[in-house]
Amino acid sequence: MTVSEIPSKTPRQPLYRLTRKLNWNRAPGDSLRHRLYHLSWMRHPWWDWGHRVMVLVGQDFGGTYDSPSPKTMWYREGKAVRMWRTKYPTHPPRSYQIVRDYNELARLTKELATDSDAHYEWRAIGGSQDGDLHLGRQYWGGDFYGLNRWEMELLRRWLNRWRWRNWFGLRSWLYSQALEAAVAQRKPFSCQQVPEPGSAGYSHWHCKLPKNHSGPHRYNNAEFQ
């Protein structure tokens, strides 16, 4: 679900002028400053709280705020550490090179051929758009052969990081409630009748006309009985 586009006419609200003056429009999309700037020019009705909550708790996705999802973590083995007794090489978590920004990963792999062994040294832990977890070389479409014990530690850290970023589930729940409210558009003190099942119309069409109105119901420009 996306939020409205930037209006064609410049808003004149004090909050909008202040956020522009402070250059909050240039702040990172996931920052609180940019979210407040985004809220300052939105022109939804006062009762439409869904779109506003989506901006506050959603995840920036190219100028819109999508459902919160865990960010991918890329990693590769660094210099091996010798075990103190056997001198056998091992790769504890501190020896891994970890990248959490895709632009940084693109810079590090820019000179590498996509089918080279050096490119496939990079592995990832993250979630797909379908909500599936991808591990190891699955990010590149490769097969999954399991994780070693040090990679399991990286997975544990990634899961803990996501729990905190998702406010232990509260953030995703708030977004789902806001998305339902933004779609349903239940205007207070209005009719709020929905089309009959099987009739022409959708279940989220809530009539916005006053209660006890005459004639057909209306949702935006659509009419139904």
34: left (phi over 0), alpha (psi -120 to 50) or beta: alpha
pLDDT of residue 194: 87
Distance, in Å, from the CA atom of 185 to the CA atom of 48, rounded to the nearest integer, reads 7
Q: List, for residues 158-208, the tens digit of each pLDDT value.
A: 999 999 999 999 999 999 999 999 988 888 888 988 888 877 778 888 888
pLDDT of residue 80: 66
- Rounded alpha-carbon distances, angstroms, from residue 208 to 48, 81, 154, 196, 212: 13, 67, 51, 16, 11
pLDDT of residue 66: 87
pLDDT of residue 139: 77
Residue 221, judged by CB atoms within 10 A of its CB (0-12, 13-18, 19+), counts as: exposed
* pTM score of the predicted model: 0.76
C-alpha closest to that of 122 among 104, 136, 106, 143:
136
Distance, in Å, from the CA atom of 72 to the CA atom of 126, rounded to the nearest integer, reads 4
Q: List, for residues 77-109, the tens digit of each pLDDT value.
A: 776 666 667 766 666 777 788 888 888 888 888
Contact between 41 and 11 (Cβ < 8 Å): yes
Q: Which residue has the higher pLDDT, 142 or 113?
A: 142
Torsional sign, CA 140, 120, 165, 160? positive
User: Strands (DSSP E) along the chain, which ranges?
Assistant: 59-61, 64-66, 73-77, 81-82, 89-90, 96-99, 123-127, 133-136, 217-219, 222-224
pLDDT of residue 10: 53
Tokens at 192, concatenated: 């709020």
The SS3 of residue 95 is helix
Q: List, for residues 10-60, the tens digit of each pLDDT value.
A: 556 788 888 888 998 888 888 889 999 988 888 888 888 999 999 999 988
- 34-37 long-range contacts, CB within 8 A, separation 24+: 34/60
The SS3 of residue 111 is coil
The widest CA-to-CA distance across the chain, in whole angstroms, is 87
Asked if pLDDT for residue 65 goes beyond 80, the answer is yes
pLDDT of residue 133: 85
Separation of first and last alpha carbons in the chain: 28
